[in-house]
Structures are given as structure tokens and as C-alpha cells.
Amino acid sequence: MKLASPWAPRLAPGDEPPFERLAGALADDIAAGLIGPGDRLPAHRDLAWRLGIGVGTVTKAYARLEQRGLVRSLHGRGMFVAGTSTMGTGSINLGINAPPQMLSDRLLQATLAILAKRLDAETFGAYSHPAGQPEHRRLIARWLAGRGVDAEPDRTLLTHGAQQALAIALAMACPPGTRLLTEALTYPGALLVARQAGLEIVGLAMDEEGLTTDALAEALGADHGQRRVLYVTPTLHNPTTATMSAERRQAVARLCHAHDVIIIEDDVYGIFAPPGVRPLASLAPERTFHVAGLSKALSPGLRMGALVVPPDCVAEAEARLQASCTTASALQGEIMRIWLTDGTAEAVASSIRADAVRRSALAAERLPKQAGLKVNGGFHAWLPMATEAADRFVARAALRGVALMPARAAMADPSAPEGGVRISLGAPTIAQLGQALDILSDLFRPGRPVLV
């Protein structure tokens, strides 16, 4: 006996051929979570009969979905919804927020050749301090100081990427029962950690500069008898690209000071900060956990993040880091050392900034004016739209071979009506990016049912 399919058969509205309307309806419902990974699709014959279409139409629609990686045929068992990735083979990935690749093979090879001469087996094989070797901490603290962060080496811990820094900051600042205040849309990796910890997450209203002072003041004014912590991305907010002015930052720091609230500042896009604007970590160093990393500024391959903690939190932060890791990677620390001291890091960060401007301009040029695109010179852009329309947009884009981040993943309240679509510009080649943007632009054409 075959299992029944949980999918309620339908065709998407519109004037496209039936196989596209069938594929579109399935893609929409997968994106909306109405059917999920591992769910069976109806048998070809059954579906054709129920929708009054030909079996060949079903075959064509399923083939289209399979080609895009949304469904998978299991021999002898039928057709099933595929795993969580909406990116099929051959698709262009605008879903992952990787920086443009600015390291050349030649540079990497030269670095590893230097490393081969410099790193002896004893240094490599030693258990080092969990927060990194003093020299490595000093170097990343200096790099952060160059970006305006008040980072003494003693308060700066090296981590296995920014995500680990974020997880430690959240664990330290947010005991069970904490209300985590954050932008209504924010980084999915932070929401993941907060939800695993069972925290109450409160999304705050945003404007062009990110979270508004009014929303923050209101949230802090209401006393629910709970500890409150603010998680905020002041520079090149992910996904909306909003960046706080100097005045907004000062107002946020003042409010947090007045209500004695800890701040977790996500500054992984710090290289995109406008000149003269200071991070919260230097406006309120006594209460700010500052999360940074070299993944966006240099390369995700280095797996090197940093956490700057308030002065009285150093010992606990080190203990938490030790409990999760025991020891930092000397190998990756040495590569970082080479790049931070020989000028590679600054050169790569500048190239990434310049390339991000070029990619942002391309997005602004290719997508229609009425789409309301937000770009801010970084390597992600934002298309605000109603949440349901955003789900359909992501599904349709996947069907046309363009992978986007499911918008709900970034929402403090995934059921809120206002969402959008993040378009990551960094991962593909410029040519692929142009091609993908043309496909997205095409989804806005009148007559396309996607924005209905």
C-alpha cells in the first residue's frame, strides 16, 4: 500500500501553461510549509485525474520541480518533497550571504607555503588558551580598534567564527526567562540560538535606520518582571541593509544605560560602517557584547570570529568558550596572523567593499523601480513585501533556478504580515548575478501571478 499524499492538489492561478501552474502551486505550498521535506506527492495518474489534466502535464511539472531540487524521485516509491535546501543543481545561489570571493588561489597557496615554513609541529600540536594565543588576540583587537571598537586584547576572545561568538554572548547575557528584544527582522542564526534556548523573542519596529528609538523605549518601559537583553545589528542590518546613524546609536546606548540593559551588538558587517560612526561597543563598553568575524570581511574559510566582552565578564566568557571548545586553532590563528600583518586583510576587505558597491549597483539597475529594493553598498539587498507574497516570490524564483533565503527565517515573529526577500549578491560570479537578477526582475512583469 502506498502512503497518501498530504498535498491538496491545485493549479496556481494565471495564464501560464498548466504544467507551470501545477509546478508553481507545489512550489508555493512547499515554500509556505504546507508540505515539507519527505512528504509524498500524489501519484501522477491520481493527480491528473483530480485536476483534469493530462498525465504528461504532471510528469513535466514534476520534472521541472525535480530539476530545481524541490522534489526528489525515490525509485519504486514515488515522488517526495526534497530536503530543506531550495537550491537545486545548476541554480544560482542568492540565498547564502557569502562575501564575494576575493582570495585568489595564488594568494591562498602563498599563505599556506609561508605557513609550511613558519608553523612547527610543536606549536601546531599544543593545547593553547581557549580564547586564542595572546599575539593572535592582540592582532584581532587591533583590527577591531581600526573599526572604532574599544577592544582591549584582554577583553577580546577568539572564536570559531562569529556564530560561536554570538552563541556564547547569548548564553551569557540571557539566562532562561529573558526577553530578547531585537529588530522585527533579524539574522536567522541569532533567532535559531534564541529559540533553542527557549527565550521569548520580541521584534521591534524598524525604519530606514533599523530599530526605532520609540519602539525600544516602549519595550524597555513596559515592566514584565523579566530580564531584557537587546540583540541588534546597527551596521548593514541583515536582511534589510538599514544602518544606524551616529545619533540613533547614541540614543540606543542611552536607553540601554538608563534601563540597565545588556546589548549584544552584531557587527559582522563592520567593514561597511560609514566613516565616523562608532559601534555600540565603544559607546557603552560596560554593557556591550560585541560580535565580529573575519568571514564577511575576508573569507568564511578562516573560521575566525571575535567576541569583545564587558570588563567584568571576561572570566565567565573564557569558561564558556572552554566548555564549548577547549582550545583555539593555532593553524587558523597563524593564517590570520599572516593576513593581518602583511596587509592582505586590508586589501581583501577593500576589494570586498568595492565589489559589493558594484553588485549593489547592478541589483538597483536590473530590478524594477517599483520593487522598492533597499541597497546600502553591502553584499545583500532587501525587497520588502507582504510575507505571503515573499513566500511565493522565493518559491517562484527557486522554480526559475534562483535560490533565495526563505524570508520567514529572519522574522522575530514568523507569522507577521510584513516581510520581504533578502537577495544575497556576494556568492555568484558577476555574470551569474546579472542573469539571476534578470530572472527575478521578470517575476515582477505584469501578468505574472507571483505578487497576487
Cβ contacts of 82 within 8 Å, gap of 6 or more: 37, 69, 70, 71, 72
Which range, of 72-80, 223-231, 323-331, 433-441, touches its own copies by CB under 8 A? 323-331
- For residues 361 and 381, give the distance between their C-alpha atoms in angstroms, rounded to a whole number: 10
Answer yes or no whether residue 196 interacts with its own copies by CB under 8 A: yes
- For residues 427 and 92, give the distance between their C-alpha atoms in angstroms, rounded to a whole number: 9
**Cβ 119 to its own copies shortest distance, Å:** 7
- Render 198-251 in DSSP notation, one character per residue: T-EEEEEPEETTEE-HHHHHHHHHS--SS-EEEEE--SS-TTT-----HHHHHH
**Cβ 250 to its own copies shortest distance, Å:** 31
Can you tell me which of 11, 167, 261, 273 binds its own copies, judged by CB under 8 A?
167
- For residues 230 and 243, give the distance between their C-alpha atoms in angstroms, rounded to a whole number: 16
Answer yes or no whether residue 221 interacts with its own copies by CB under 8 A: no
- Render 59-98 in DSSP notation, one character per residue: HHHHHHHHHTTSEEEETTTEEEE--S----TT-EEESS-P
- Asked if residue 27 lies in contact with residue 404, where contact means CB atoms within 8 angstroms, the answer is no
Q: 282 φ, ψ to 5°?
A: -100, -15
Answer yes or no whether residue 101 interacts with its own copies by CB under 8 A: yes
- For residues 438 and 452, give the distance between their C-alpha atoms in angstroms, rounded to a whole number: 20
Which range, of 39-47, 114-122, 336-344, 396-404, touches its own copies by CB under 8 A? 114-122
Answer yes or no whether residue 109 interacts with its own copies by CB under 8 A: yes
Answer yes or no whether residue 405 interacts with its own copies by CB under 8 A: no
Answer yes or no whether residue 344 interacts with its own copies by CB under 8 A: no
CB nearer to its own copies: pick between 198 and 368 = 198
- Asked if residue 180 lies in contact with residue 321, where contact means CB atoms within 8 angstroms, the answer is no
Can you tell me which of 53, 193, 404, 433 binds its own copies, judged by CB under 8 A?
193
- For residues 434 and 360, give the distance between their C-alpha atoms in angstroms, rounded to a whole number: 11
CB nearer to its own copies: pick between 126 and 361 = 126
- Asked if residue 274 lies in contact with residue 112, where contact means CB atoms within 8 angstroms, the answer is no
Which range, of 15-23, 155-163, 336-344, 400-408, touches its own copies by CB under 8 A? 155-163
CB nearer to its own copies: pick between 112 and 354 = 112
Near its own copies in 428-447, by CB under 8 A: none
- Cell readout for 151 is 577592544
**Cβ 140 to its own copies shortest distance, Å:** 17
Q: What is the CA radius of gyration of the chain?
A: 24
CB nearer to its own copies: pick between 179 and 320 = 320
**Cβ 335 to its own copies shortest distance, Å:** 8
Near its own copies in 116-145, by CB under 8 A: 116-117, 119-127
- Asked if residue 22 lies in contact with residue 51, where contact means CB atoms within 8 angstroms, the answer is yes
| Size of site (CB under 8 A) for its own copies | 51
CB nearer to its own copies: pick between 4 and 113 = 113
Q: Would you call 184 helix, strand, or coil by DSSP?
A: coil
Which range, of 7-15, 230-238, 276-284, 319-327, touches its own copies by CB under 8 A? 319-327
CB nearer to its own copies: pick between 327 and 435 = 327
Q: b vs e for 49-83, b when ≥16 Cβ sit within 10 Å of the residue's Cβ? A: eebebeeebbebbbebbebbbbbbeeeeeebbbbe
- For residues 74 and 100, give the distance between their C-alpha atoms in angstroms, rounded to a whole number: 36
CB nearer to its own copies: pick between 1 and 116 = 116
CB nearer to its own copies: pick between 63 and 110 = 110
Answer yes or no whether residue 409 interacts with its own copies by CB under 8 A: no
Can you tell me which of 78, 300, 377, 434 binds its own copies, judged by CB under 8 A?
300
Answer yes or no whether residue 192 interacts with its own copies by CB under 8 A: yes
Answer yes or no whether residue 186 interacts with its own copies by CB under 8 A: no
Can you tell me which of 319, 361, 430, 452 binds its own copies, judged by CB under 8 A?
319
**Cβ 147 to its own copies shortest distance, Å:** 21
CB nearer to its own copies: pick between 55 and 103 = 103
- Asked if residue 436 lies in contact with residue 94, where contact means CB atoms within 8 angstroms, the answer is yes
- For residues 294 and 336, give the distance between their C-alpha atoms in angstroms, rounded to a whole number: 9
Answer yes or no whether residue 350 interacts with its own copies by CB under 8 A: no
Can you tell me which of 115, 217, 362, 364 binds its own copies, judged by CB under 8 A?
115
Answer yes or no whether residue 2 interacts with its own copies by CB under 8 A: no
Indicate the burial class of 241 (C-beta count within 10 angstroms; 0-12, 13-18, 19 or more). buried
Q: Which residues bind its own copies (CB under 8 A)?
A: 96, 98, 101, 103-105, 107-109, 112-113, 115-117, 119-127, 160-164, 167, 176, 189, 192-193, 196, 299-301, 303, 319-320, 322-327, 329-332, 335
